[in-house]
Amino acid sequence: MTQISCSSNDSYRSRFENLISKSSQGQPNWLKSLREQSMNRFETLGFPTERKGNEEWKYTDIKNIATSDFLVPYETTLPSSAKKRLRQQGFDKQDFHQLVFLDGFYSAELSSEALQIKGCIIGPLSQAWRSHAVSSSLGTLANSEDHAFTALNTAFTRDGAFIHIPANTKIEKPINIIFLTLEWQDKIATHPRTLVNVGKNSSAIIVETHCSTEETKYLSNAVSEIFLEDGSHLDHYRLQIHSKDAYHIGTTQVRLNQTSKFKSVSADLGGKLIRNNLNIDVAGENASCILNGLYITNGTQHVDNHVTIDHSQPYTNSREHFKGILGDKSKTAFQGSIIIRANSQKVDSHQENKNLLLSSDAEANTKPAFWIYADDVKCGHGASSGELDKDALFYLLSRGIPEKEAQSMLIKGFITEIIESVDCHTYKSHLEDLVKDKLSKMCE
Amino acid sequence: MTTTNKDLKAVASKEYKYGWTTDVESETPEKGLNEDIVRWISEKKNEPAFLLNWRLKAFSYWKKLVSEDKTPKWANVKFPEIDYQNLYYYSAPKSKKQLDSLDQVDPEILAAYEKLGIPLEEQKHLAGVAVDAIFDSVSITTTFKKELSKHGIIFCSFSEAVQDHPELIKKYLGSVVPYTDNFFAALNAAVFSDGSFCFIPKGIRCPLELTTYFRINAAETGQFERTLIVAEDNSYVSYLEGCSAPMRDENQLHAAVVELVAMENAEIKYSTIQNWYPGDEKGKGGIYNFVTKRGICRGNNSKISWTQVETGSAITWKYPSVMLIGDDSVGEFYSVALTKGYQQADTGTKMIHLGRNTRSKIISKGISAGHGQNTYRGLVRVMPKAYKARNFTQCDSLLIGDKCGAHTAPYVEVRNNTAQLEHEAYTSKVDEEAMFYCNQRGISNEDAQSLIINGFCKEVFQKLPFEFAVEANRLIELNLEGTVG
Amino acid sequence: MSLLHIDNLHASVDGKNILKGVNLSIRRGEVHAIMGPNGSGKSTLAYLLAGKPGYKATQGSVLFEGHDLLTLSPEKRARMGMFLSFQHPVEIPGVRLDQFIRAGFNSLRQHRGEPELDPLKFDRVIKKNAGMVGLHQSMTKRFVNMDFSGGEKKKSELLQMSIMEPLLSILDEPDSGLDVDALRDVANCIKQLHTFENAVLLVTHYQRILNYVVPDQVHILVDGRIVRTGNKDLAHDVEADGYDKYE
């Protein structure tokens, strides 16, 4: 793909040099050279602003990101607004094992104390740079070679969550990783990085929240790498409630080994321009994944979910279900690719994207695709778009339900199945509240 | 079933049955493409100035694309770069003068069409079908012309239309597919040699099936024909094209353009049975079929329906589309695409909804066997003013053998919330339960497979004119002979 | 000589042993019923006899008119006169029922050295037989079993049986999912198609169809073995006591 490198590349380079000179002390050499390589790669790739003939970025224009000058913060403070925001969030350290990052920096004060399980690490990546588990896997899943934003993250990342679960361990308490952006005078960019390894036959639930204290303009460019060893099980709930002026590029890269199970439920409620890349390598026999997602957009929000499932092994299966509710002049895209490699027989895969358009100015784009190179497979996809079901509405009205209420029941009902797929009660009720809030704003 | 199979064996071996060449002297300019060749073609055809100018503009646009390296590369097909300077751009069987009747056609050519099963002598011809035969670059003859002209219907070669109805050509040429549309449309506009023209006047229901038969004969020759069909208010026409080519080791380029215009209440049914030479079993040779086909439902309540059975060509790359401008207009696309050997197909449709209450339906059936790669790519776009637009899409793929590929890439773009769109797609191999059910009723594997595949394609075949539905069915059976595992 | 002779038949599906030594002999003119609880191996036996891929005999033998049945392809078995009425008849989109039956019927005739029946003559045959099995003739113009009700599917199977005129009909739960009237129709039809020349092997979970089609022998299949053989009264005992006491 041709990608025009933009003028601000120079400023990225100088910021990068600055960052290295100021803050790379104590970081191991492998990390320094990985950063350097990634920076070089980013300069070669440039931002993917060219969209004609560029299927990857067909529906999302990131010109505003490419031409903006984002500051890189070197440190941050802990304002009271952060605590307040976390309280508002309703997240309680009692219910979760919490890791909080402010502007991409770990906040020990806001985070839970370390978990006392042998061999288990749930903490900041910055304290584990020298760990073999990090040096041997960071950057091996997330591809900086072809993806400018991943390269940028690798070059600039300051911190993020490092979760390492040894074999045969069940983490009972859900882990909540919170990336909170504070108020700054200038636009800032954060590049949080997360590395997760779930050991053999182990299981965990991770909630990943992206939010801000104020309605400011910033770029959040997050990358997560998740490894699931044989027989492991991970639920990953991603919640994006950024400021209404925020840009967010979120890349989640997952590898599934034999008989492992991965479930992802993503919710995009905030942000101005959102692009999520969710890439799953189903790389072990009998591995399976469920990828669900919801997005609710209004104003001029733009949300693009780009999901790729690569079945490279037989007897694997995947279920993918994304649903969107669009209001005002918002625009969404769902691009789902499912690849079934040669000899990956007996794959069973289904993908579905449904959009509900509440406004005549909204735009929903859907591109579910299958690339199948094996013959003994069962694959299907469905897509639909439209307004509220008139028959259903009439049915409710005929039962005496007021129109407004009937509408909101149907709208909420449209995404209930996605919310219901969350298996963590505390997070589910939190998500329900947020969805209700957003919908009530949209239906006013 | 057994009857059909016996027929099949008598008819042909598994090889391409239309692969012979005809020995006729032809008139060809030198290889390569430059402005002189464009002028030469235009002069040869005694074209009016407007057409020459249009060709030249198209040519300079195409040259610009080439210089900017803008050859399209997004399709899911692989082929070595085409050397556009190593092709002949025009080939016409030599004849001394204007033909007045069939008797003057080179008997070799008549025999060639006879061999293809398309006798051009009217009395012998299938009742109810008028044929325009295109041999390499030029139209050889059009049958039933007089009969049709009684109704005011014009059905003739493009060249004749340029001479006899320049005002219609000037009005409609490029109005649906402008030469700036894409790389191959620009190339075609510069060098197109002939094609069919069809004009159905107001209120007329064309009493015959109109058919154009395309035959590539000459070697190293690109074929660039252009078809233009205009259906005025309240008219109806059903049109079918068929194609074949000799077996040659090098790849041959076929870059045609088809434009359809349907005015108020008019209906155009356009069917294609495409059986260009697909290359040998190792993937050598075969036609590159890079075609731009588009229709405009300009008038309210008009309808355009594309039906295609694509079994031939080394590479098929085309998306017959409908622009639904008129309110309540309807676009349909029914397709069976089969790839076997090393064939590749990236085909589908575009339905662009602009008017109110516009409706579209897409039924696509892909069959992949051998090392064939089959991609459905389709776009449904609903523009802001297309209130209550409706689309239903069903695209299914069948896989035969584990070396082939079946791919689905639909694009759904909705900018009006009153629109309702539904898309469904399934991919699987031939149902084992159904195979066993057939076996249990005494039906052999081979017959069972062709029965099931025929059923899979039924919805599309039913849309073809009757005579051709039978032909299409046979083509599929012939092509899949010997593929049962 | 027996039409069908099963000797110590063991069979497995997906590596799991289902049949564990079945012995059974059926002669022309007889009606046999095999009864058993769910999972006892009834359908496995039916599928195995018809040659369904994936169903493997691991031991024992099956002779059909003296020929070793187990080595033959399913279509060969069908042409020799073995018919399986499916418990869940398969739907085949795009293929008309009458065309489907004609394809099978003509392959049978070809096997017997008889000329094929042209579509017109065949149409008369199918019309007559559809009337006999109580299937509306318009159903034969529909796609095979597509959108057929439960009863219509069973009748579609019987229509096929009536035209194929098999020597041995294996009917896998022809009574499942039918109401009382439909059950009687189906049963009457089976009786009508049964002659001294052919045989019927009726696989069922319930006794009720045996009130109409009276079997010469009833076999109780439990856990892959025939644990009891008797006359029609055995079916009543099972109905009254359940299968538990045979387990």
Q: Walk along chain B (485 residues) and give the pLDDT tens digit of each residue.
A: 333 333 333 333 346 666 666 666 667 777 788 898 899 889 888 999 999 999 999 999 999 998 888 888 888 888 888 888 888 787 766 654 445 555 666 666 666 666 666 655 544 444 456 677 766 656 666 667 777 888 999 988 898 899 999 999 999 999 999 999 999 999 999 999 888 899 999 999 998 888 887 776 666 677 888 999 999 999 999 998 876 666 666 778 889 999 999 999 999 999 998 888 888 878 888 888 899 999 999 999 999 999 999 988 899 999 999 999 999 999 999 999 999 989 999 999 999 999 999 999 999 999 999 899 999 999 999 999 999 999 999 999 999 988 899 999 899 999 999 999 988 889 999 989 999 999 999 999 989 998 999 999 999 998 988 777 877 887 788 777 777 64
Range of the structural domain that residue C238 is part of: 4-246
Measure B306 CA to nearest chain A CA, in Å: 23
CB contact under 8 A, A53 and B74: yes
Asked if residues B446 and B5 have their Cβ atoms less than 8 Å apart, the reply is: yes
Query: What is the pLDDT tens value at each position of chain A, 444 positions in all?
Result: 333 334 456 788 888 888 888 877 778 999 999 999 999 999 999 999 877 778 889 899 999 999 888 888 887 778 888 888 887 776 777 788 999 999 999 999 888 887 778 889 999 999 999 999 999 999 999 988 889 999 999 999 999 999 999 999 999 999 999 999 998 888 999 999 999 999 999 999 999 999 998 889 999 999 999 999 999 999 999 999 999 999 999 999 999 999 999 999 999 999 999 999 999 999 999 999 999 999 999 999 999 999 999 999 999 999 999 999 999 999 999 999 999 998 899 999 999 999 999 998 999 999 988 999 988 889 998 888 899 888 888 878 878 788 888 888 889 889 999 999 999 999 999 999 999 999 988 876
CATH number at residue C205: 3.40.50.300
ipTM of the complex: 0.87
Q: Are B151 and B236 in contact (CB under 8 A)?
A: no
Q: What residues of B are in contact with residue A386 (Cβ under 8 Å)?
A: 417-421
Going by C-beta distance under 8 Å and a sequence separation of 6 or more, which residues neighbour residue B178? Answer: B185
CA distance B300 to A435: 43
Query: Chain B residues with CB-CB distance to C under 8 A?
Result: 1-3, 431-434, 436-445, 447, 451-452, 454-459
Is residue B485 assigned to a domain? no
Tokens 């049949």 correspond to C19
Total number of domains in chain B: 1
Contact C53 B436 (CB under 8 A): yes
Neighbours of chain C (3+ CB pairs under 8 A): B
**Residue B252 contacts by C-beta under 8 Å, 6 or more apart in sequence?**
B216, B219, B220, B221, B222, B223, B245, B277, B286, B287, B288
pLDDT at B125: 47
Q: Count of domains in chain A?
A: 1
Quote the pLDDT of residue B8. 33
> Residues of chain A with pLDDT > 70: what percent?
97
List CB contacts (< 8 A) between C79 and chain B.
442
- How far CA B403 is from CA of A342, A372, B65, in Å, comes to 7, 10, 36
Q: What is the pLDDT of residue B2?
A: 36
Q: Establish if A308 touches chain B: CB-CB under 8 angstroms.
A: no
**What's the Cα-to-Cα distance from B148 to each of A151, B165, B214, B232, B239, rounded to whole Å?**
67, 16, 21, 16, 14
Query: What is the C-alpha separation between A377 and A375, in angstroms, rounded?
Result: 6
The answer as to whether A14 is a domain residue is: no
pLDDT at A203: 97
| Chain A CB contacts of B417 below 8 Å | 326, 357-360, 362, 386-387
Tell me the C-alpha distance between B383 and B325, whole Å: 10
Asked if the C-beta of A380 comes within 8 angstroms of chain B's C-beta atoms, the answer is yes
The total number of structural domains in chain C stands at 1
Residue pLDDT, tens place only, C224-233: 999 999 998 9
Chains B and C touch (3+ CB pairs under 8 A): yes
The SS3 call for residue C100 is helix
> Does A128 reside within a domain?
yes
DSSP state for residue C119 in the 8-state scheme: H
Closest Cβ opposite residue B419 in set A366, A380, A386 = A386
Confidence (pLDDT) at B154: 92
- A375 and B429 within 8 Å at the Cβ level: the answer is yes
What is the extent of the structural domain holding A197? 79-388
* Residue for token pair 């309110």: B327
The domain containing residue B249 runs over which residues? 2-480
pLDDT value for B124: 47
Q: How many residues does chain A have?
A: 444
Task: State both tokens at B204.
Answer: 């007329």
Query: What predicted TM-score, i.e. pTM, was given to this entire model?
Result: 0.84
Query: Residue B120: what pLDDT?
Result: 59
Q: What is the pLDDT of residue B106?
A: 67
**B73 domain residue, yes or no:** yes
CB B262 within 8 A of CB B304: yes
Using pLDDT thresholds of 50, 70 and 90, give the confidence band for residue C50.
very high
For residue B64, what are its two tokens? 């610009």
- Asked if C107's CB is within 8 angstroms of B455's CB, the reply is no
Band of residue C145 on the pLDDT scale cut at 50, 70, 90: very high
Nearest to C107 among B2, B437, B459 (CB): B2
Strands A193-198 and C199-204: unpaired
Please answer yes or no on whether B437 and C103 come within 8 Å at the CB atom.
no
State residue B128's pLDDT score: 55
| Cα separation, B429 vs A345, whole angstroms | 11
Predicted local distance difference test score (pLDDT) of residue B137? 57
Q: Which residues of A touch B384 (CB under 8 A)?
A: 360-361
| pLDDT value at residue C152 | 92
